[in-house]
Amino acid sequence: MKKLIFVTPKSYEIKRVDIVDISNYIYRKISEIAPRVLKTEIFGSSPPEVFIGRIGYPRVYIGPLVPPEVGSTESLGLTELWFGKPLEEIISMRLSMVRGKSLTDVKNLENKIILELHDMLLSRRAVDTEIKFSKAPRGVLFSFDSQPFGPSAPIEKFKIYPSSSDHLLEKAYYDTDLKAGSAVLQLYFSGEPVSRIQQALSAGMLGTSRYRRLVPTRWSITAVDDIISKHLLNHVRQFPVISEYEAYYLEYLDNKWIVVLMPRPWEYESIEAFLPGTLDDRYLAIGGDYESYLGRSEYASIGGCYYAARLAIAERLYARKRQAAALVLREAHPGYKVPVGVWNVRESVRNALKQRPIRLNSVSEILKFISSKMTVPINIWVKQSVLLKKVLSQRTLFDFLK
């Protein structure tokens, strides 16, 4: 669970709105797809995608995700392609994929099912898959860190028909002398989608032979975001500082996003506010994490969202060859009834930063901009923020040169 502070309604003014309860949509959608997915045998094209659980670690459930349809299903697993889709469509896509389960030790990479999963992930396109379950699939899984997952059941038989290989991933897979971090970066700079790299790391396909093991999907997502962003930031810290304040604003999935880049050496903070009707019916929940120029060593209390947003910002600054202090503010409104994973954070911040920036001249203008866009009052954002307090109380060389 995210580490968030619940704020009583007396400390802010937020109007409640009537919305359609998305849980009703989930139940209706499950009823619609049940005849196709709640079967003991399924033949379909996996994106390809696998799931590695974390409960019971180091003995965890593993298995493929397979929709009851054949063809080009790659988009069902590539989170980079989901931005702009409505919440209902994302939920529908994910609930249509059945998750096979087999219990294994994370170090047992010679397991027959794991080897099949490796062949599946090495495929460049969707992989035709036959799967037989010991009982009918059931249940769904929603998480702040990973994308939604549909019904699951224990695997009895499993067979795949691989397509042409992804040569970039294949090269990293067979290089058992290449460390996992180096493999992640090699794949990233070769153009491999982040979501594909996360899958490969999760399935134990990267790293030196001695240290390869399965990594729970939830952990691998954050690990890849962290590895890439740290590498990019090592370069960003050497670039010139931007010359003025820049603000970016975006709305998606009933979330409001503000990204502020400031003419200061690298610092970073991400704050999330969940309005009444999201995590709690009565209270605002707010929390965040901060890192200085030197970074941070402790895991962020708000989880994978922190690292996903940091990757998006690091990518943009690296591409511009500029350095800045960065603040990300997220406001989740009642229409965001179901978490869809940190990909939403990564892709929302990426897309916000693609827009033309609103250029501002001072911290006071930043505060006015935040107040004009966000529902949560500015005094709560400032109270929660380390970075805003610093820029309000400290002057930099840039301030004297203006």
**128-144 tens-digit pLDDT:** 999 999 999 988 888 77
Answer yes or no: are the C-beta atoms of 37 and 150 closer than 8 Å: yes
Answer yes or no: are the C-beta atoms of 306 and 270 closer than 8 Å: yes
pLDDT of residue 216: 97
pLDDT digits (tens, 9 = 90+) for 296-333: 999 999 999 999 999 999 999 999 999 999 999 999 99
Residue 400 has pLDDT above 50, yes or no: no
- For 200, the token pair is 């490969």
DSSP 156: E
- Rounded-to-integer distance, Cα 105 and Cα 373, Å: 49
Mean pLDDT value of segment 39-56: 96
pLDDT digits (tens, 9 = 90+) for 329-353: 999 998 887 889 999 999 999 999 9
Residue 75 has pLDDT above 70, yes or no: yes
pLDDT of residue 280: 78
Residue 93 has pLDDT above 80, yes or no: yes
CA neighbor of 248 nearest in space, from 344, 192, 312: 312
- For 274, the token pair is 């969940």
- For 156, the token pair is 């009895």
pLDDT of residue 342: 95
pLDDT of residue 145: 78
User: How many percent of the chain have pLDDT more than 90?
Assistant: 78
pLDDT of residue 106: 98
